[in-house]
Amino acid sequence: MALPESERIEAEKGLQAAENQRRAAAFNSGSSGRLSKTITLPIPEKDRACHGPYNLVENNLHGQDNYIKIWAAVGLAAIRANLSGAWRAWQICKHLDQGGGGKVTRADLWTYLDDLGIGERKRRRWIGQAKKAGLLRFDPVLSDYYMVGQAQAAIRLGCKHVGRSAAVRVGEFVKAGWRANVWSAYLTTLNGRLVSQEKKAELTGVPIRTQNYYQMQLSGSARRNYAQTELTSDHITGLRDHGRSSAFVGKDNRVYYRLPDMRTVPDHIARTLPKGRSKKIQKQVNLSCYEAREQGGVFRLFHEKAKGVKSALNKIRRSDHPPWELPDEVFLLTFPGKNSNIWQPAQVGDVQAI
């Protein structure tokens, strides 16, 4: 029997509390205190009948609790290009085409959209927009819609960084507030990596203010991260004047500064999927819209263990890539706290990162 939504939320809170206690116990005992993995909630029986943990195929395509596989970064590009209806129509066609034939019948598509509560005017607008954008082509003789592949869709929608695929519920994909669900799906594809809001804005075109709005609409959590330097309080003004505006002095009289948050999305909202064809799709996009990488911004690497930092630094020193394609900063996790982490900057090249 499927768990009610209230019980699912309570189960999530219980798992999170247990994980927080484990971290605190590990730190207090002097162990390394590894970072937690994404919490995976049990899949309700009504979903388990249709999919395994990452299986979106099988039966019951018409249930609104069924999951749909999407490339969230492509969807965010569609929103930016004012082609969100076209992208959703195309994505739903891909969802219906479980056999991979590249087409769906008009009757199947219209019936499915009707089952999802999409009115006729909106259906016509979405499909017309998809045809105009080149995502769908209609054959009036066979009454079939043919869809372009994932790479071609990304190119037509102006998406340069495809990323990984994720799963969201079909019902949440078409109702009001769906953009927040797509954003949550994008966050899951980061797999807990520390990515600043500025960098996410650069990659997705979603402004920081809009990111915050999306994140307030859905449940989730954020873990704060801080870099611990060897500098004392008399360096604070200089650091703030040279790009470390978040620098502050801790109780130990050492200077700290803020790093990007680590965001977690509950599985019942969105879940990341195995890489699959993502790498191949990205290569196709790169060949079609190659541009020289901009030299602005900061490229950071974060590692939980000293071994990972050592390996990363060795690769940087041996690399024959130009400087702007190499990490600017490398950090080692030194304290995984209950709500915050502390990271130690490692030396990159001949300069100590601060």
Helix 197-204 vs helix 72-80: crossing angle, to nearest 10: 70
* 258 or 316, which is more confident: 258
Q: Give Cβ neighbours of residue 121 (< 8 Å, ≥ 6 apart).
A: none
pLDDT at 338 over 70: yes
What does the DSSP assignment read for 130-191?
HHHHTSEEEETTTTEEEE--HHHHHHHTT-S-----EEEEHHHHHSTTHHHHHHHHHHHHTT
**pLDDT tens across 173-192, in order?**
998 889 999 999 999 988 87
Residue of 119, 137, 123 lying closest to 85 (CA atoms): 123
What is the number of H-type helices and E-type strands within the chain? 14, 13
pLDDT band for position 83 (cuts 50, 70, 90): very high
Spatial separation of the C-alpha atoms in residues 10 and 266, rounded to whole Å? 12
**pLDDT tens across 96-132, in order?**
988 888 899 999 999 999 999 999 999 999 999 999 9
Cα Dmax for the chain? 77
Average pLDDT, integer, range 21-49: 38
DSSP β-ladder status, 329-336 and 103-105: unpaired
**pLDDT tens across 237-294, in order?**
877 877 777 788 888 888 888 888 888 888 888 888 877 777 788 777 775 544 333 3
Contact 267, 166 (CB under 8 A): no
